[in-house]
Structure 1
């Protein structure tokens, strides 16, 4: 689907949350790897691009970067946390390691309102999670807010906006307003996406891709595999076989619940593998959590 918001993934734990916030507004969003070729991004005709946060440093030898031409396409860009540092780094500013890492709540002092911060209350609480920080703005950028560090900058002419904090998390009091300002006020995106449309589209795509072949799916009972199982089952029915492995490390009665819910309620073909002895015998006598994980 085109004309939505593209989120480039730099490894942030909040990527899926950014996408969810935008979809809750009724706007399509899609998460792509940070190194997706620019041409591939442009073919999707995005109304806006969000550069997510991430754990690495822009000054590292193997730093995750984007093509500088991304900023020259006239498409609004929002850099979040690492995305802000990356933008400053690529466009002529300077990023350095902070005196100390900052994690948690901070107060946002608005210095000069931008289209992104329109209507945002001065000194509202934002959520920080970073080690590096912007020390010098790129040419053409203005300081919009600070929180002890440079917290928000923008180049209105080029429609590039950056924040050091995370507007997508609930701890940022007016983060929703900022995202709405970007999606609707800056990107002029349309409310034309519904979950039901996505479900129907996905089922059709699965059916076309699988044809008359069969599919095996590892079902853990968690959210990701469960959603995948239901969508695939709706698309191809009994052509799907789910395999559920009981490791002996599940919660009480969880194995029975998975078999009942997906076998009896959704009428899926599920094969139960009882591997309790195999797992527990190898873990016997081991106390160290990391050693257990590797086993």
Structure 2
């Protein structure tokens, strides 16, 4: 089931193109099968905090992604559907039969139980919000975190609930609205919980996920920013070859980190175009020019288009219309400068992993536009350039960590 949006996790210390960016140098990976929860991204972030590369895929594509990625473990997310519905989403049986550890969260628990022969029922008391679970038996997930007989705060969000366990499972926690709150099959290393450990409303949730990563899946964590940097540089060189790359700088973190990373990979094959739209903080434009032109010695074209942008935005009050206006003008100005530079085969963008995730529909239904993403699908076909997006595997705080690794102030 879905849960409320929460604040970002604390800055990720250990971390590291289509929608499946596989990192060849990283051997420990966890696949997250998304059933449409609003907070699936938080699962990935918690796993990455443990230095393990995690990747989110919609349930419809999970079997193919599993075969290609060869993860060491799988996590089944929550979601808004009911496993009792006709054509309810389910986990590929190939994953459940592959012999890797599996953790089910909320809807993930329900579909895991149902698919393996248990019973899930609806029509019971819905739980949404804070609740307490009582630990009824020891479990690898609880090791060093929760004690048998103790009661602990969690965040629930469900209507259906498991009422009969599949063969091989035992119940290890209970709650008033969910008598079977956590289930465990120690032989197959299958575990599942009715609540959401990924949100901050479950105070010990990150520790439970850590136990799954470290003690159940027995992963040590080999995804660091240094490893990501080295792998990304190799991938950029392999993609670009002897070609030329043009990068649009916005003055923000994402494009700046992308530019410095690409320059480290291919040097003067990169030219940056900084379009100053007049919406930056005081003297920020000067800082960008000084940093790239004088500190990093990256070829830079500086365009002061502030009058054009501010003129077009005059009288516009709708935020989405502002974004579209800025996006269109940026492309127009950037395209004109790209023609002047000439000879570029590739366009570099600071696309991030949330841009990729949020710009596709994971449950097959209509996507809701929260806000337009300027880095996804914004390249005019007439520019006839290939995309270089070295950050599309990263969350925002990981981009900042990469920036520090690259020496950006």
If the TM-score is normalised by the length of the shorter chain, which range does it land in? 0.7 to 0.9
Correspondence 1:124 to 2:152: yes
Q: Do 1:247 and 1:276's aligned partners in 2 also have CA atoms closer than 8 Å?
A: yes
- 248, 254, 257: which one pairs with 1:227? 257
Counterpart for residue 128 of structure 2 = 102
Q: Do 1:133 and 1:149's aligned partners in 2 also have CA atoms closer than 8 Å?
A: no
Structure 1: gaps of 5 or more residues: none
In structure 2, the CA distance between the partners of 1:289 and 1:20, relative to structure 1 (3 Å rule), is closer
User: Aligned partners of 1:62, 1:219: CA distance in 2, in Å?
Assistant: 46
Correspondence 1:190 to 2:214: no
- 22, 26, 50: which one pairs with 2:75? 50
Counterpart for residue 2 of structure 1 = 27
Q: SS in structure 1 opposite 2:132?
A: strand
Q: Do 1:5 and 1:30's aligned partners in 2 also have CA atoms closer than 8 Å?
A: yes
User: Aligned partners of 1:22, 1:112: CA distance in 2, in Å?
Assistant: 25
What are the superposed Cα offsets for residues 82-135 of structure 1, whole Å, 9 maximum, x if unpaired? 4334434544543648866724x443322333222233333333345x355435
Q: SS in structure 1 opposite 2:140?
A: coil
In structure 2, the CA distance between the partners of 1:11 and 1:206, relative to structure 1 (3 Å rule), is farther
- 245, 249, 254: which one pairs with 2:284? 254
Return 70-79 or 182-191, whichever deviates more.
Answer: 182-191
- 172, 176, 191: which one pairs with 1:144? 172
Counterpart for residue 235 of structure 2 = 205
Q: SS in structure 1 opposite 2:141?
A: coil
**C-alpha displacement of 1:245:** 3.5
**C-alpha displacement of 1:32:** 3.9
User: Aligned partners of 2:70, 2:120: CA distance in 1, in Å?
Assistant: 31
Higher strand residue share: 1
User: Aligned partners of 2:186, 2:171: CA distance in 1, in Å?
Assistant: 11
User: Aligned partners of 2:275, 2:313: CA distance in 1, in Å?
Assistant: 17
Q: Do 1:127 and 1:166's aligned partners in 2 also have CA atoms closer than 8 Å?
A: yes
**C-alpha displacement of 1:14:** 4.7
Q: How many residues align?
A: 291
Structure 2: gaps of 5 or more residues: 1-25, 326-409
In structure 2, the CA distance between the partners of 1:9 and 1:254, relative to structure 1 (3 Å rule), is farther
User: Aligned partners of 1:165, 1:19: CA distance in 2, in Å?
Assistant: 17
Return 259-268 or 173-182, whichever deviates more.
Answer: 259-268
**C-alpha displacement of 1:182:** 1.0
Report 1 or 2 for greater relative contact order, CA contacts < 8 Å, sequence distance ≥ 6: 2
Q: Do 1:8 and 1:33's aligned partners in 2 also have CA atoms closer than 8 Å?
A: yes
User: Aligned partners of 1:232, 1:271: CA distance in 2, in Å?
Assistant: 16
Q: Do 2:47 and 2:54's aligned partners in 1 also have CA atoms closer than 8 Å?
A: no
Counterpart for residue 399 of structure 2 = none
Output the TM-score relative to the length of structure 2. Answer: 0.60
What are the superposed Cα offsets for residues 194-231 of structure 1, whole Å, 9 maximum, x if unpaired? 33122212211211221111223333344443333232
Could you say what the CA RMSD is over the residues aligned between the two structures, in angstroms? 3.4
User: Aligned partners of 2:155, 2:246: CA distance in 1, in Å?
Assistant: 41
